[in-house]
Protein backbone atom coordinates (compact mmCIF):
# COMPACT_ATOMS: atom_id res chain seq x y z
CA UNK A 1 0.00 0.00 0.00
CA UNK A 2 1.71 3.14 -1.24
CA UNK A 3 2.66 5.69 1.39
CA UNK A 4 2.13 3.49 4.44
CA UNK A 5 4.16 1.01 6.46
CA UNK A 6 3.35 -1.46 9.22
CA UNK A 7 5.06 -0.90 12.57
CA UNK A 8 4.17 -2.59 15.87
CA UNK A 9 0.49 -3.22 15.10
CA UNK A 10 0.12 0.27 13.64
CA UNK A 11 0.05 1.67 10.13
CA UNK A 12 2.04 4.89 9.84
CA UNK A 13 3.02 7.01 6.83
CA UNK A 14 6.24 6.05 5.09
CA UNK A 15 6.58 9.62 3.86
CA UNK A 16 8.36 12.46 5.67
CA UNK A 17 6.35 14.33 8.35
CA UNK A 18 5.98 17.45 6.22
CA UNK A 19 4.50 15.55 3.26
CA UNK A 20 0.75 15.11 2.76
CA UNK A 21 -0.61 11.62 3.38
CA UNK A 22 -3.01 9.76 1.08
CA UNK A 23 -5.78 8.61 3.43
CA UNK A 24 -8.09 7.19 0.75
CA UNK A 25 -7.16 3.65 1.83
CA UNK A 26 -8.13 4.50 5.38
CA UNK A 27 -11.50 6.08 4.78
CA UNK A 28 -12.74 3.58 2.21
CA UNK A 29 -11.89 0.73 4.59
CA UNK A 30 -9.70 -1.19 2.14
CA UNK A 31 -6.70 -0.80 4.44
CA UNK A 32 -8.11 -3.33 6.93
CA UNK A 33 -8.54 -5.96 4.21
CA UNK A 34 -4.96 -5.58 3.09
CA UNK A 35 -3.59 -5.32 6.65
CA UNK A 36 -6.02 -7.16 8.96
CA UNK A 37 -3.22 -7.50 11.52
CA UNK A 38 -3.05 -3.71 11.97
CA UNK A 39 -5.02 -2.42 14.93
CA UNK A 40 -4.99 1.23 13.93
CA UNK A 41 -3.64 3.80 11.51
CA UNK A 42 -1.98 6.99 12.73
CA UNK A 43 -1.06 10.10 10.75
CA UNK A 44 -0.73 13.85 11.13
CA UNK A 45 -1.73 17.02 9.31
CA UNK A 46 -0.83 20.73 9.61
CA UNK A 47 2.86 19.98 10.01
CA UNK A 48 4.86 22.71 11.78
CA UNK A 49 1.86 24.99 12.17
CA UNK A 50 2.38 28.36 13.82
CA UNK A 51 0.61 27.44 17.06
CA UNK A 52 0.96 24.88 19.83
CA UNK A 53 -0.97 21.62 19.66
CA UNK A 54 -0.83 18.49 21.79
CA UNK A 55 1.13 16.53 19.15
CA UNK A 56 4.51 17.22 17.59
CA UNK A 57 7.65 15.94 15.93
CA UNK A 58 11.05 16.70 17.42
CA UNK A 59 13.25 18.08 14.66
CA UNK A 60 16.55 19.80 13.99
CA UNK A 61 16.30 22.19 11.05
CA UNK A 62 19.24 24.52 11.67
CA UNK A 63 22.99 23.85 11.70
CA UNK A 64 24.42 23.04 15.10
CA UNK A 65 26.89 25.52 16.58
CA UNK A 66 28.55 24.23 19.73
CA UNK A 67 29.90 27.71 20.54
CA UNK A 68 26.34 28.83 21.30
CA UNK A 69 26.06 26.38 24.20
CA UNK A 70 26.88 27.08 27.83
CA UNK A 71 30.32 26.05 29.01
CA UNK A 72 28.77 23.14 30.94
CA UNK A 73 27.08 21.70 27.86
CA UNK A 74 30.20 22.20 25.74
CA UNK A 75 32.25 20.40 28.36
CA UNK A 76 29.96 17.35 28.29
CA UNK A 77 30.02 17.08 24.50
CA UNK A 78 33.81 17.52 24.38
CA UNK A 79 34.15 14.93 27.14
CA UNK A 80 32.33 12.45 24.94
CA UNK A 81 34.34 13.19 21.80
CA UNK A 82 37.58 12.63 23.73
CA UNK A 83 36.52 9.16 24.87
CA UNK A 84 34.66 7.87 21.83
CA UNK A 85 35.10 7.65 18.08
CA UNK A 86 32.15 7.69 15.68
CA UNK A 87 32.08 6.58 12.06
CA UNK A 88 29.85 4.88 9.49
CA UNK A 89 29.77 1.11 9.67
CA UNK A 90 28.55 -1.82 7.62
CA UNK A 91 25.99 -3.43 9.97
CA UNK A 92 26.58 -6.87 8.44
CA UNK A 93 30.11 -6.77 9.84
CA UNK A 94 28.98 -5.95 13.39
CA UNK A 95 25.97 -8.20 13.94
CA UNK A 96 27.00 -9.59 17.31
CA UNK A 97 28.23 -6.23 18.60
CA UNK A 98 24.99 -4.50 17.56
CA UNK A 99 22.98 -7.23 19.24
CA UNK A 100 24.95 -6.76 22.46
CA UNK A 101 24.26 -3.01 22.38
CA UNK A 102 20.56 -3.61 21.76
CA UNK A 103 20.25 -6.06 24.68
CA UNK A 104 22.08 -3.70 27.03
CA UNK A 105 19.93 -0.74 25.97
CA UNK A 106 16.70 -2.71 26.46
CA UNK A 107 17.84 -3.83 29.91
CA UNK A 108 17.28 -0.27 31.12
CA UNK A 109 13.66 -0.24 29.93
CA UNK A 110 10.86 -0.72 32.49
CA UNK A 111 9.64 -4.32 32.43
CA UNK A 112 6.13 -3.26 31.38
CA UNK A 113 7.35 -2.43 27.88
CA UNK A 114 10.78 -4.05 27.71
CA UNK A 115 10.96 -5.87 24.34
CA UNK A 116 12.17 -9.42 24.03
CA UNK A 117 15.01 -9.57 21.57
CA UNK A 118 15.83 -12.77 19.73
CA UNK A 119 19.41 -13.14 18.57
CA UNK A 120 18.69 -14.72 15.20
CA UNK A 121 15.80 -12.39 14.35
CA UNK A 122 17.86 -9.35 15.23
CA UNK A 123 21.03 -10.39 13.40
CA UNK A 124 18.98 -11.40 10.36
CA UNK A 125 17.32 -7.98 10.37
CA UNK A 126 20.68 -6.24 10.14
CA UNK A 127 20.96 -7.57 6.58
CA UNK A 128 18.22 -5.08 5.65
CA UNK A 129 20.01 -2.18 7.30
CA UNK A 130 22.12 -1.56 4.23
CA UNK A 131 19.35 0.73 2.97
CA UNK A 132 20.03 2.95 5.98
CA UNK A 133 23.05 4.93 7.06
CA UNK A 134 24.47 3.39 10.23
CA UNK A 135 26.88 5.13 12.59
CA UNK A 136 28.72 3.16 15.23
CA UNK A 137 30.35 4.66 18.29
CA UNK A 138 33.45 2.99 19.70
CA UNK A 139 35.29 3.36 22.99
CA UNK A 140 38.78 4.68 22.30
CA UNK A 141 40.03 2.73 25.29
CA UNK A 142 39.31 -0.74 23.92
CA UNK A 143 37.70 -0.12 20.48
CA UNK A 144 34.47 -1.70 21.72
CA UNK A 145 31.21 -0.85 19.93
CA UNK A 146 29.08 0.83 22.61
CA UNK A 147 26.27 2.35 20.57
CA UNK A 148 24.84 3.05 17.14
CA UNK A 149 22.45 5.28 15.22
CA UNK A 150 20.29 4.19 12.29
CA UNK A 151 19.38 6.98 9.88
CA UNK A 152 16.86 6.84 7.04
CA UNK A 153 17.24 9.51 4.37
CA UNK A 154 13.90 10.52 2.87
CA UNK A 155 14.34 13.48 0.53
CA UNK A 156 15.05 16.57 2.59
CA UNK A 157 14.20 14.73 5.80
CA UNK A 158 16.54 12.43 7.70
CA UNK A 159 14.62 10.14 10.03
CA UNK A 160 16.57 9.29 13.16
CA UNK A 161 15.11 5.77 13.21
CA UNK A 162 17.14 4.17 16.00
CA UNK A 163 19.58 5.42 18.61
CA UNK A 164 20.89 2.85 21.10
CA UNK A 165 23.80 2.99 23.52
CA UNK A 166 25.03 0.85 26.42
CA UNK A 167 23.70 2.52 29.59
CA UNK A 168 26.93 2.16 31.59
CA UNK A 169 28.66 4.56 29.15
CA UNK A 170 26.09 7.35 29.49
CA UNK A 171 28.05 9.18 32.19
CA UNK A 172 30.98 9.27 29.79
CA UNK A 173 28.69 11.18 27.38
CA UNK A 174 28.37 8.46 24.76
CA UNK A 175 25.06 9.90 23.57
CA UNK A 176 26.47 13.41 23.22
CA UNK A 177 29.41 12.18 21.14
CA UNK A 178 27.20 10.14 18.82
CA UNK A 179 24.62 12.87 18.22
CA UNK A 180 27.29 15.55 17.80
CA UNK A 181 29.01 13.51 15.08
CA UNK A 182 25.75 13.02 13.17
CA UNK A 183 24.99 16.75 13.28
CA UNK A 184 28.47 17.58 12.01
CA UNK A 185 28.15 15.03 9.20
CA UNK A 186 24.89 16.59 8.03
CA UNK A 187 25.77 20.22 8.58
CA UNK A 188 25.57 21.03 4.86
CA UNK A 189 22.28 19.11 4.59
CA UNK A 190 20.82 21.32 7.32
CA UNK A 191 22.20 24.48 5.73
CA UNK A 192 20.49 23.59 2.46
CA UNK A 193 17.05 23.39 4.06
CA UNK A 194 16.89 19.77 5.18
CA UNK A 195 15.93 18.62 8.65
CA UNK A 196 16.55 15.71 10.99
CA UNK A 197 13.52 14.17 12.72
CA UNK A 198 13.73 12.10 15.89
CA UNK A 199 10.11 11.04 15.70
CA UNK A 200 6.83 12.14 17.18
CA UNK A 201 5.73 12.78 20.75
CA UNK A 202 6.42 9.68 22.79
CA UNK A 203 3.40 8.14 24.48
CA UNK A 204 4.49 4.56 25.01
CA UNK A 205 7.95 5.06 26.52
CA UNK A 206 9.00 6.91 29.64
CA UNK A 207 11.99 8.79 28.30
CA UNK A 208 13.52 12.24 28.42
CA UNK A 209 15.58 11.78 25.25
CA UNK A 210 13.58 14.35 23.27
CA UNK A 211 14.09 16.90 26.03
CA UNK A 212 17.80 16.05 25.97
CA UNK A 213 17.97 16.76 22.23
CA UNK A 214 16.20 20.08 22.69
CA UNK A 215 18.34 21.14 25.63
CA UNK A 216 21.77 20.20 24.31
CA UNK A 217 21.47 20.20 20.53
CA UNK A 218 18.81 22.74 19.58
CA UNK A 219 16.12 20.36 18.40
CA UNK A 220 12.63 21.82 18.56
CA UNK A 221 8.99 20.78 18.48
CA UNK A 222 7.24 20.98 15.10
CA UNK A 223 3.59 21.06 16.14
CA UNK A 224 0.91 19.31 14.10
CA UNK A 225 -2.46 17.55 14.47
CA UNK A 226 -2.81 13.87 15.26
CA UNK A 227 -5.37 11.61 13.55
CA UNK A 228 -6.27 8.00 14.32
CA UNK A 229 -8.46 5.44 12.56
CA UNK A 230 -9.19 2.06 14.15
CA UNK A 231 -9.60 -1.36 12.66
CA UNK A 232 -13.32 -2.15 13.10
CA UNK A 233 -12.44 -5.25 15.10
CA UNK A 234 -11.00 -3.11 17.93
CA UNK A 235 -12.86 0.17 17.50
CA UNK A 236 -15.65 -1.01 19.80
CA UNK A 237 -13.06 -1.98 22.44
CA UNK A 238 -11.57 1.51 22.41
CA UNK A 239 -15.01 3.06 22.71
CA UNK A 240 -15.84 0.70 25.58
CA UNK A 241 -12.63 1.32 27.55
CA UNK A 242 -12.21 5.04 26.90
CA UNK A 243 -14.52 6.19 29.75
CA UNK A 244 -12.44 4.07 32.16
CA UNK A 245 -9.03 5.39 31.05
CA UNK A 246 -8.26 7.08 34.38
CA UNK A 247 -8.90 3.87 36.26
CA UNK A 248 -6.78 1.86 33.84
CA UNK A 249 -3.84 4.22 34.42
CA UNK A 250 -3.63 2.94 37.98
CA UNK A 251 -2.72 -0.47 36.54
CA UNK A 252 -0.17 0.84 34.06
CA UNK A 253 2.58 -1.27 35.62
CA UNK A 254 1.47 -4.31 33.61
CA UNK A 255 2.52 -4.66 29.98
CA UNK A 256 -0.88 -5.30 28.39
CA UNK A 257 -2.59 -2.49 30.29
CA UNK A 258 0.28 -0.14 29.41
CA UNK A 259 -0.27 -0.82 25.72
CA UNK A 260 -4.00 -0.16 26.09
CA UNK A 261 -3.29 3.04 28.00
CA UNK A 262 -1.01 4.26 25.22
CA UNK A 263 -3.83 3.92 22.69
CA UNK A 264 -6.36 5.54 25.01
CA UNK A 265 -3.96 8.43 25.67
CA UNK A 266 -3.65 9.11 21.95
CA UNK A 267 -7.42 8.95 21.62
CA UNK A 268 -7.71 11.44 24.46
CA UNK A 269 -5.33 13.82 22.69
CA UNK A 270 -7.37 13.56 19.49
CA UNK A 271 -10.56 14.28 21.41
CA UNK A 272 -9.02 17.29 23.15
CA UNK A 273 -7.76 18.70 19.86
CA UNK A 274 -11.21 18.44 18.31
CA UNK A 275 -12.62 20.53 21.16
CA UNK A 276 -10.02 23.27 20.85
Q: Tens of pLDDT along 140-159?
A: 999 999 999 999 998 899 99
d(CA 151, CA 268): 31
Domains of the chain (ranges plus CATH)? 4-58+225-275 (no CATH), 62-193 (3.40.630.30)
What is the reported pLDDT for 195? 97
What is the reported pLDDT for 253? 82
Question: Is residue 84 within 8 Å of 174, Cβ to Cβ?
Answer: yes
What is the reported pLDDT for 189? 97
Q: Tens of pLDDT along 183-229?
A: 999 999 999 999 999 999 988 766 788 999 999 999 999 999 999 99
What is the reported pLDDT for 122? 87
Which of the residues in the chain have pLDDT under 50?
Answer: none
What is the reported pLDDT for 117? 84
What is the reported pLDDT for 203? 85
pTM comes to 0.91
What is the reported pLDDT for 212? 92
d(CA 51, CA 185): 31
Amino acid sequence: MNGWKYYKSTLIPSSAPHEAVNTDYIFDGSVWKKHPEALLARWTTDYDCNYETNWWYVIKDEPFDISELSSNYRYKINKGTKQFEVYKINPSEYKEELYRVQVAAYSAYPTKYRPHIDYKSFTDSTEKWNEYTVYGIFSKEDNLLVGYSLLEINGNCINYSVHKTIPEYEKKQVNAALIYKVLLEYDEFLREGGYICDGARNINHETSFHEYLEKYFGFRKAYCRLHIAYNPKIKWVVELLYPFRKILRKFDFTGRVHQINSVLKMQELVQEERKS
